Amino acid sequence: MSEHDQTLSRKKTLSSSLNNDELLLCLQAVARIHQHEASSESLTAGLPLEDGKLTPSVFARAAARAGMTARIVKSGLVNLNPELFPVVVLLEPGRACIVTSIDIKKGIAKTIFPELNEAEVEVSLSGLASSYSGEAIYVRPRLRLDNNPETKKRRVGTGFGVSFRRIEDFTATFLLAQLLLIYLPWRCRYSCSMCTIG
């Protein structure tokens, strides 16, 4: 087999692994929900994958490439924070799905499985708990304060309540006033016969 054929074979193998990577597909599905779509290649390029698949240990790095922040937590299913749903749930053995809501009274959970990651299905809470590994990954869009003009306006800068920007404005105004006090009398002396200054 030629070097070119070997390269094509490796690319096909990698592509096949990425298409069967449940954790990666879950990340893409959550990113899509938050309007942060990204390709498999852009999320995983250069990351240390295992058998061509994303692992929980590098999940946050992949999420960052989609403008997301992620955190792995150990928690019971019913103790997961609903304010941070949808959440990626790690299953046994090495599988994953997304939980979008949990109804404890009805004993059901609404989930998205990577095999069909654009459809939501209801499963029994007990059935999901039986395959739950005890770990989940919260994934949310990263907060970008620097890109928010309103946030910039509200920033204070020092503990005394005076921003550096305000100090700069005051300094510029003070210097301008000093220049005018020096320049105007000199101008009046030579250009205005009606002026008595100097």
Q: Residue 68 maps to which CATH number?
A: 3.90.70.10
21/42 same-domain check: yes
- DSSP letter at 114 equals G
Question: Is there a single domain that holds both residue 109 and residue 154?
Answer: no
The residue range of the domain holding 187 is 147-191
Q: Are residues 139 and 164 in the same domain?
A: no
Q: Same domain, yes or no, for 10 and 50?
A: yes
Question: 166 and 76 in one domain?
Answer: no
DSSP-derived secondary structure letter, 146:
G
The residues of the chain scoring below 50 in pLDDT are 4-16, 155-164, 194, 197-198
Q: Which of the 8 DSSP states describes residue 50?
A: B
Provide the pLDDT for residue 11.
44
Q: Are residues 158 and 64 located together in one domain of the fold? A: no
Question: Residue 111's beta-bridge partner residues?
Answer: 99, 121
- pLDDT at residue number 164: 46
* Residues 169 and 87 grouped into a single domain: no
CB atoms within 10 A of CB 23: 21
Let me know if residue 174 belongs to a domain. yes
Residues 111 and 169 in one domain: no
196 domain-assigned: no
* Domain count along the chain: 2
> pLDDT tens, 49-88?
999 999 999 999 999 999 999 999 999 999 999 999 999 9
Whether 75 and 139 share a structural domain: yes
Residue 17 CA to its chain's centroid (Å): 25
Identify the pLDDT of residue 173.
76
Residue 198 lies in a domain: no
Q: 130 and 40, same structural domain?
A: yes
137 and 90 belong to one structural domain: yes
Q: Does residue 60 belong to any structural domain of this protein?
A: yes
Q: In what order do the strands lie in the sheet with 87-91?
A: 68-74, 132-141, 87-91, 95-103, 108-112, 121-124
Do 84 and 57 fall into the same domain? yes
Tell me if 197 is assigned to some domain: no
Answer yes or no: is 37 within a domain: yes
